[in-house]
């Protein structure tokens, strides 16, 4: 087998494996190296997203939501459930199966696209632009030569100072996705995306969940109106969310005790069976041996790149969580495709203004573009139109009428500047807004499009009509 490649990708998360496939589609000889292993030591490509992120978290969110519906929503439909119980072991088994299907799917895609996969750690071993040497340390020890290298080594969870994760009592995302039985009391530090998604899973299964957030505002980067609605709903669901706290000493013995100061400055103690620490993630470059070849990192440890994902080294690129920008799987994928295309002499492009965000709680929260508070800060004149799911026929039939769609459009041109949704299937509905914004649509464009009836997407059309004060169903 040739050990010389046009492109060697280090990391097979969403950034890396997609970059490898696109580069192969463009006719290049491509290798992809990834060190993630199953408990049996087999390759598990897909990175954080597939193994301990997007995919397993959504599997558990679905299982716990089904349980919650069976317990709380079915009766209204005349469906009686007797002896409802949750088998956590089976729920985790299903989650593991979903993960494995995705691992296997990526290995299949590599084969189909003639990407040569190496299971092990990839590290710079020398070379220069056009002929980089990459050492693979796994079951075999290969040295690959690469014209181009794409670094896609991802991120790892940030720990609190002096409180290492043990994944028994102090859990990172890996531990949070593998809790073997519903804890009676669960603590979460950080009311961000992981904290809210994982907190929701275990709350639905019966845990008493307390979330401690350092910032005074809840979901500070989300549109304020959406964040306010979310806080109201999550609190009603039983998540005890405390913002503006200062976490102090944490003691982990049989259980975990967290000493903290609340927003009023009063000393408090929280005792829980398990504590999830979800206070953000840090770029992962450990073991890459970037130092040896002079790879430049920025002050926060991200691989420094320009707008095209070029590093300071000739023909070395970096994408995904290991570089600046949102830590999202689809952002990593877009960068991976764009870099492969640039290497092939095409014009890969990633539009950061239209990267959607989704929080997969119930209700889901999704947005794209700027928030109302950002537009105010920037002094942009805008018009806002909202439509509640309460007035949407499909939402009523679903029995899920929480939330609303809000569209923000430029006051002069009507161009859509931001769309914010809290409600059922927000993760799917936001796609229409992304397409509209990518095509530079005005709110009137959405208002003039025929939307199927009855469908949740009619709330998008109605919100667009509301920008011009002419909703039809409210
Ligand atoms: P990663 O997925 O982290 O992949 C990097 C890969 O590189 C890993 O397999 C790693 O083992 C490998 N690697 C690292 N160094 C080396 C080396 N030297 N040699 C060989 N291999 C190496 N994002 C979303 O968009 N939607 C979601 O719903 C979502 N849910 C999430 C839920 C959780 C709990 C978490 C933790 C994250 C979630 N994310 C979600 C974020 C998403 O997982 C990341 O943004 C995404 O995985 C980043 O992709 P990546 O390819 O940059 O890195
Ligand atoms: P996050 O950045 O979403 O949230 C971290 C929260 O912790 C913030 O609200 C922050 O203010 C708070 N915090 C920080 N230090 C603290 C401290 N000492 N005490 C109390 N609170 C503190 O990070 P999270 O949830 O760890 O997720 C990491 C990343 O993974 C996300 O930013 C996101 O990019 C990605 N992700 C995406 C998902 C999705 O797209 N649905 C799901 C899960 C993760």
Q: pLDDT for 165-179, tens place per residue?
A: 999 999 999 999 999
The protein residue whose alpha carbon is closest to atom 37 in ligand 1 is: 53
The protein residue whose alpha carbon is closest to atom 41 in ligand 2 is: 359
Residue 73 CB-density burial (10 A; 0-12 exposed, 13-18 middle, 19+ buried)? middle
Asked if pLDDT for residue 154 goes beyond 70, the answer is yes
Whether residues 404 and 304 fall in one domain: no
Asked if pLDDT for residue 139 goes beyond 90, the answer is no
Query: Residue 373 maps to which CATH number?
Result: 3.30.390.30
Q: Tokens 């691992």 map to which residue?
A: 103
Which letter does DSSP use for residue 100 in this model? H
DSSP labels, 225-274: HHHHHHHHHHHHHT-EEE-S-EEEEEEESSSEEEEEE-TTS-EEEEEESE
**Structural domain contains residue 473:** no
Ligand 2 nearest atom to the CA of residue 360, by list position? 41
Ligand 2 centroid, distance to 158 Cα (angstroms):
9
Whether residues 342 and 459 fall in one domain: no
**Band of pLDDT at residue 267, cut at 50, 70 and 90:** very high
Rounded distance between C-alpha atoms, residue 152 and residue 314, angstroms: 16
Read off the pLDDT of each residue in 407-413 and give the average, rounded to a whole number: 98
Phi/psi of residue 429, nearest 5 degrees: -60, -30
Ligand nearest to the CA of 176: 1
Ligand 1 nearest atom to the CA of residue 16, by list position? 51
Q: What's the domain range around 99?
A: 4-157+282-350
- Residue 209 tokens read as 């969940």
Ligand nearest to the CA of 279: 2
Rounded distance between C-alpha atoms, residue 410 and residue 388, angstroms: 21
- Residue 157 tokens read as 């969870």
Which letter does DSSP use for residue 353 in this model? G
Helix segments in 307-425, DSSP class H: 329-343, 372-378, 393-398
Compute the Cα dihedral for 65, 44, 165, 190 and give only its sign: negative
Ligand 1 nearest atom to the CA of residue 321, by list position? 52
14 touches ligand 1 (CB under 6 Å): yes
Q: Decide which of 241, 261, 279 is a domain's last residue.
A: 279
pLDDT digits (tens, 9 = 90+) for 84-118: 999 999 999 999 999 999 999 999 999 999 999 99
Ligand nearest to the CA of 302: 1
**Structural domain contains residue 163:** no
Read off the pLDDT of each residue in 58-70 and give the average, rounded to a whole number: 98
Ligand nearest to the CA of 323: 1
Read off the pLDDT of each residue in 145-168 and give the average, rounded to a whole number: 97
**Structural domain contains residue 418:** yes
Whether residues 101 and 182 fall in one domain: no
Ligand 2 nearest atom to the CA of residue 321, by list position? 34
Ligand 1 centroid, distance to 146 Cα (angstroms):
23
- Beta partners for residue 420, in sequence order: 367, 406
Which of 14, 154, 192 most suits a substitution to test ligand 2, by most atoms within 8 Å of the C-beta? Answer: 192
Whether residues 127 and 22 fall in one domain: yes
Whether residues 24 and 147 fall in one domain: yes
Residue 13 pLDDT: 98
Rounded distance between C-alpha atoms, residue 344 and residue 84, angstroms: 56
Whether residues 340 and 419 fall in one domain: no
Whether residues 9 and 80 fall in one domain: yes
Residue 156 CB-density burial (10 A; 0-12 exposed, 13-18 middle, 19+ buried)? middle
Residues 257, 250 contacting (CB under 8 angstroms):
yes
Maximum alpha-carbon separation in the chain: 69
Q: Decide which of 279, 297, 320 is a domain's last residue.
A: 279
- CB under 8 Å to 448, separation ≥6 — which residues? none
Ligand 1 nearest atom to the CA of residue 322, by list position? 52
Ligand 1 centroid, distance to 418 Cα (angstroms):
27
**Structural domain contains residue 59:** yes
Read off the pLDDT of each residue in 269-288 and give the average, rounded to a whole number: 98
Catalytic pick from 72, 286, 349, 453? 453
Q: What's the pTM?
A: 0.97
**Band of pLDDT at residue 1, cut at 50, 70 and 90:** low
Ligand nearest to the CA of 56: 1
155 touches ligand 1 (CB under 6 Å): yes
As a whole number, the mean pLDDT across the chain is 97
**Band of pLDDT at residue 379, cut at 50, 70 and 90:** very high
Residues 220, 373 contacting (CB under 8 angstroms):
no
pLDDT digits (tens, 9 = 90+) for 217-238: 999 999 999 999 999 999 999 9
Rounded distance between C-alpha atoms, residue 157 and residue 111, angstroms: 31
**Separation of first and last alpha carbons in the chain:** 66
Residues 329, 341 contacting (CB under 8 angstroms):
no
Ligand 2 centroid, distance to 204 Cα (angstroms):
20
Query: Residue 257 maps to which CATH number?
Result: 3.50.50.60
Read off the pLDDT of each residue in 269-278 and give the average, rounded to a whole number: 98
**Structural domain contains residue 22:** yes
**Band of pLDDT at residue 283, cut at 50, 70 and 90:** very high
pLDDT digits (tens, 9 = 90+) for 363-376: 999 999 999 999 99
- Beta partners for residue 252, in sequence order: 256
pLDDT digits (tens, 9 = 90+) for 123-135: 999 999 999 999 9
Ligand 2 centroid, distance to 203 Cα (angstroms):
18
DSSP labels, 116-130: EEEEEEEEEEEEETT
- Residue 162 tokens read as 């002096």
Q: Which residues line ligand 2 (CB under 6 A)?
A: 160, 189-195, 197, 212-215, 247, 278-281, 326-328, 358-360
Which of 194, 283, 320 most suits a substitution to test ligand 2, by most atoms within 8 Å of the C-beta? Answer: 194
Asked if pLDDT for residue 2 goes beyond 70, the answer is no
Which letter does DSSP use for residue 175 in this model? H
**Structural domain contains residue 164:** no
Using DSSP's 3-state secondary structure scheme, residue 210 falls into strand
328 touches ligand 1 (CB under 6 Å): yes
Whether residues 227 and 360 fall in one domain: no
Whether residues 212 and 71 fall in one domain: no
Which letter does DSSP use for residue 77 in this model? G
Helix axes 329-343, 14-25, angle to 10 degrees: 30
**Structural domain contains residue 330:** yes
Ligand 2 nearest atom to the CA of residue 219, by list position? 9
The protein residue whose alpha carbon is closest to atom 36 in ligand 2 is: 193
Q: State the DSSP H helix or E strand holding residue 434, giving kind and residue range, or none if neither.
A: helix 426-438
Annotated active-site residue 451? The verdict is: no
- Residue 117 tokens read as 């996969």
**Structural domain contains residue 397:** yes
The protein residue whose alpha carbon is closest to atom 19 in ligand 2 is: 214
Q: Decide which of 279, 294, 321 is a domain's last residue.
A: 279
Give which of 216, 8, 195 is closest to 117, Cα–Cα: 8
> Three-class SS string for 404-447?
EEEEEEECCCCEEEEEEEEECCHHHHHHHHHHHHHCCCEHHHHH
Ligand 1 centroid, distance to 124 Cα (angstroms):
20
Phi/psi of residue 53, nearest 5 degrees: -140, -120
Whether residues 330 and 389 fall in one domain: no
Ligand 1 nearest atom to the CA of residue 285, by list position? 15
Residue 231 pLDDT: 98
Q: DSSP 3-state helix, strand, coil percentages of the chain (rounded to 5)?
A: 35, 30, 35
Give which of 364, 432, 371 is closest to 402, Cα–Cα: 364
Ligand 1 centroid, distance to 283 Cα (angstroms):
10
Ligand 1 centroid, distance to 347 Cα (angstroms):
25
Q: State the DSSP H helix or E strand holding residue 155, giving kind and residue range, or none if neither.
A: strand 155-157
Whether residues 240 and 214 fall in one domain: yes
Residue 420 pLDDT: 98
Whether residues 151 and 192 fall in one domain: no
Rounded distance between C-alpha atoms, residue 467 and residue 447, angstroms: 9
Read off the pLDDT of each residue in 303-328 and give the average, rounded to a whole number: 98
- CB under 8 Å to 242, separation ≥6 — which residues? 210, 211, 212, 213, 262, 263
Ligand 2 centroid, distance to 173 Cα (angstroms):
11
Asked if pLDDT for residue 70 goes beyond 80, the answer is yes
What domain count does the chain have? 3
């Amino acid at each position: 087998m040739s050990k010389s490649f046009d492109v060697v990708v280090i990391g097979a998360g969403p950034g890396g494996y997609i970059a490898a496939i696109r580069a192969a589609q463009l006719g290049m000889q491509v290798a992809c190296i990834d060190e993630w292993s199953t408990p049996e030591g087999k390759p598990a490509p897909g990175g954080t997203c597939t193994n301990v992120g997007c995919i397993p978290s959504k599997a558990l969110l679905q299982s716990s939501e089904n349980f919650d519906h069976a317990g709380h929503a079915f009766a209204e439909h005349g469906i009686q459930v007797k002896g409802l119980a949750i088998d956590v072991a089976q729920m985790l088994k299903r989650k593991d199966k979903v993960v494995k299907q995705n691992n296997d799917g990526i290995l299949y895609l590599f084969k189909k696209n003639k990407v040569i996969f190496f299971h092990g750690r990839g590290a710079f071993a020398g070379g220069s632009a056009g002929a980089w040497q990459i050492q693979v340390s796994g079951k075999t020890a290969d040295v690959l030569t690469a014209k181009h290298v794409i670094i896609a080594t991802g991120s790892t969870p940030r720990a609190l100072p002096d409180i290492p994760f043990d994944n028994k009592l102090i859990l990172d995302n890996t531990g949070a996705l593998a809790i073997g039985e519903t804890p009676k009391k669960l603590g979460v530090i950080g009311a961000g995306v992981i904290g809210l998604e994982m907190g929701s899973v275990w709350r639905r299964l019966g845990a008493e969940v307390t979330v401690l957030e350092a910032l005074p505002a809840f979901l500070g980067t989300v549109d304020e109106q959406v964040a306010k609605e979310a806080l109201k709903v999550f609190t009603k669901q039983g998540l005890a969310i405390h913002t503006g706290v200062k976490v102090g000493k944490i003691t982990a013995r049989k259980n975990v005790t967290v000493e903290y100061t609340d927003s009023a400055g009063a000393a408090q103690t929280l005792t829980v069976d398990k504590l999830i620490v979800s206070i953000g993630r840090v770029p992962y470059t450990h073991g890459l041996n970037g130092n040896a070849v002079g790879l430049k990192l920025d002050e926060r440890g991200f691989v420094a790149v320009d707008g095209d994902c070029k590093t300071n080294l000739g023909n070395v690129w970096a994408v995904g969580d290991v570089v600046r920008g949102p830590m999202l799987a689809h952002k990593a994928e877009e960068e991976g495709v764009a870099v492969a295309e640039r290497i092939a002499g095409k014009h890969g492009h990633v539009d950061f203004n239209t990267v959607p965000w989704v929080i997969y709680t119930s209700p889901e929260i999704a947005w794209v573009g700027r928030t109302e508070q950002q537009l105010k800060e920037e002094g942009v004149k805008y018009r806002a139109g909202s439509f509640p799911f309460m007035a949407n026929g499909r939402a009523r039939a679903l029995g899920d009428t929480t939330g609303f769609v809000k569209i923000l459009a430029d006051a002069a041109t009507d161009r859509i500047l931001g769309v914010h949704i809290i409600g059922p299937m927000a993760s799917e509905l936001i796609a229409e807004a992304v397409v509209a914004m990518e095509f530079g649509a005005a709110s009137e464009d959405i208002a003039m499009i025929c939307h199927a009836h009855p469908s949740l997407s009619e709330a998008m059309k109605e919100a667009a009509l509301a920008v011009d004060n002419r909703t039809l169903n409210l």
